[in-house]
Amino acid sequence: MATFSSAQAVQSSGKSSQFAFAAMTSLFFIWGFVTALNDILIPHLKAAFELSYFQAMLVQFCFFGAYFIVSPLAGKLIERIGYIRGIITGLLTMAAGCLLFYPAAEVAVYGVFLLGLFVLASGITILQVSANPYVAILGEERTAASRLSLAQAINSLGHTLAPLFGAALIFGAMHADSAKAVQLPYLILAAAVVATAVGFRFLQLPELSSPVTSDGQQKDSIWQHKHLVFGAIAIFVYVGAEVSIGSFLVNYFAQPDIAGLSEKQASQMVSYYWGGAMLGRFAGALITRWIAPVYVLAFNSVMAVLLLLVTINSTGTVAVWSVLAVGFFNSIMFPTIFTLAIRGLGDLTSRGSGLLCQAIVGGALVPLLQGLVADASSVQWSFLVPALAYFYIGWYALSGSNISHNSSETKATS
């Protein structure tokens, strides 16, 4: 059984713990904002470069592909330099990725945009590997899911505001039909991220270490923890489903039989999807203190499947609001899966976090799969892809997250 000794030391000075948590939430906001901006970037680049759905989804492939490649390296980096220095490194890498958008727009080459997205996402990956476990161990283990849900709610605030920012500065720009429309927004983001990195350089935050096992022994491998492995798959399909839905909303709402909206109007509607997740996460931060997180996760996954089936089989207002409502039920999924998966990892917590962040590569692959289905049939029927992902999450909540799947844990406690 893991003990959160470092975090408990921080808890002894309540103000220090609260200030550290508040500082961390700013990071969740930033990467949520940048990630959701892809939902506006995709239809813009699709039109500017005359791309197919599959080609447009390469935006998410390069962005979330960085998680798969960089996460293992990030986990080892955090072990060497610590959470706080890891955060600063991640922020500066993000800024470099944002700055690459300027030359990409000047030369009007889609591949350079994809390179910028990869660098940008590499920085976010380092942030995720640093901030998620930091927040999880910044207090008692029993409230870890609630604490991470609250941080993720701030992340969703960033997701909610980004489509409005993108609609105004990209689709509302003077050169809205050209690649140059993205230059100003990403220069603004680069400046904001650098300012945040400078701020973290001078903040006196507690440098926590990973929780240790009560018997002082370190486990040999993360792969013997099956609840972690199943959790990594759950993160893979969850992020894939959430990102894939958001990526298709602008094009979906532009269809005459769905809503017939302009790109700018549809972009503004995307805010409701992420806004629902924000509200759900604030609610989930309270609910998971009283109801076992596994049951909340199972209920939300069932609701997501039902809502997607409704949008597939309807048109007009019903189709629009049923798919937007999925955002509300996405709310507690990531923090709940994450905290269920890292239970009992002890000294392997940072590596387990790295594996879970590596699984975020689902955001690269699932949208590609949905893009293939959309090209072969329609955008509407392509929502069957995320529906299958939520079905797996329901299974993980009720069965796969059971720590008894780990035979070595069972033997240790028998």
pLDDT (tens digit per residue) in 32-75: 999 989 999 999 899 889 899 999 999 999 999 998 898 888 87
- The pLDDT, as a whole number, for residue 175 is 67
- The pLDDT, as a whole number, for residue 9 is 41
pLDDT surpassing 90 at residue 230? yes
C-alpha–C-alpha distance, residues 190 and 181, integer Å: 16
Confidence category of residue 22, pLDDT binned at 50, 70, 90: confident
User: What is the per-residue pLDDT across 256-273, written as a single tens digit (0 to 9) for each?
Assistant: 999 999 888 998 899 999
pLDDT surpassing 60 at residue 13? no
Domain annotation for the chain: domains and CATH numbers: 10-206+222-407 (1.20.1250.20)
Angle between helices 384-395 and 226-254 (to 10 degrees): 150
Percent of the chain surpassing pLDDT 70: 86
- The pLDDT, as a whole number, for residue 152 is 77
Confidence category of residue 14, pLDDT binned at 50, 70, 90: low
C-alpha–C-alpha distance, residues 380 and 367, integer Å: 14
Over the range 213-239, which residues count as b (16 or more CB within 10 Å of their CB) and which as e? beeeeebeebeebbbbbbbbbbbbbbb
Q: Which two tokens stand for residue 259?
A: 């809503």
Kindly report the average pLDDT of the chain as a whole number: 85
DSSP 3-state of 324: helix
Q: Which two tokens stand for residue 405?
A: 């799947």
pLDDT surpassing 50 at residue 10? no
Confidence category of residue 209, pLDDT binned at 50, 70, 90: low
Q: Residue 339 carries which DSSP code?
A: H
Q: Identity (one letter) of the amino acid at 49?
A: F
C-alpha–C-alpha distance, residues 318 and 368, integer Å: 26
Q: Does the global pTM surpass 0.95?
A: no
| Contact (Cβ atoms closer than 8 angstroms) between residue 131 and residue 23 | no
- The pLDDT, as a whole number, for residue 212 is 46
- The pLDDT, as a whole number, for residue 337 is 94
CA dihedral angle for residue 274, residue 272, residue 161, residue 298, rounded to 10 degrees: -20
CA dihedral angle for residue 369, residue 375, residue 379, residue 380, rounded to 10 degrees: -90
Lowest mean pLDDT among 75-79, 226-230, 350-354: 350-354
pLDDT surpassing 60 at residue 1? no
Lowest mean pLDDT among 211-220, 308-317, 344-353: 211-220
C-alpha–C-alpha distance, residues 114 and 62, integer Å: 6
pLDDT surpassing 60 at residue 4? no
CA dihedral angle for residue 126, residue 130, residue 132, residue 136, rounded to 10 degrees: 170
- The pLDDT, as a whole number, for residue 407 is 41
Percent of the chain surpassing pLDDT 90: 50
Confidence category of residue 354, pLDDT binned at 50, 70, 90: confident
pLDDT surpassing 90 at residue 397? yes
Alpha carbon separation from 331 to 91, 105, 155, 258, 274 (Å, rounded): 25, 34, 10, 25, 9
- The pLDDT, as a whole number, for residue 15 is 55
| Contact (Cβ atoms closer than 8 angstroms) between residue 263 and residue 171 | yes
- The pLDDT, as a whole number, for residue 67 is 84
| Contact (Cβ atoms closer than 8 angstroms) between residue 20 and residue 131 | no
Average pLDDT over residues 313-340: 94
Confidence category of residue 247, pLDDT binned at 50, 70, 90: very high
pLDDT surpassing 70 at residue 156? yes
Confidence category of residue 141, pLDDT binned at 50, 70, 90: low
Average pLDDT over residues 280-295: 86
Of 31, 224, 17, nearest to 126 (Cα)? 31
- For residues 138 and 91, the model is more confident at 91
Lowest mean pLDDT among 52-56, 130-134, 191-195: 130-134
Contacts of residue 296, defined as CB under 8 A and 6 or more positions apart, other chains included, come to: 284, 287, 288, 332, 336
- The pLDDT, as a whole number, for residue 133 is 76
Average pLDDT over residues 102-126: 94
Confidence category of residue 8, pLDDT binned at 50, 70, 90: very low
User: What is the per-residue pLDDT across 171-182, written as a single tens digit (0 to 9) for each?
Assistant: 876 666 778 889
| Contact (Cβ atoms closer than 8 angstroms) between residue 157 and residue 126 | no
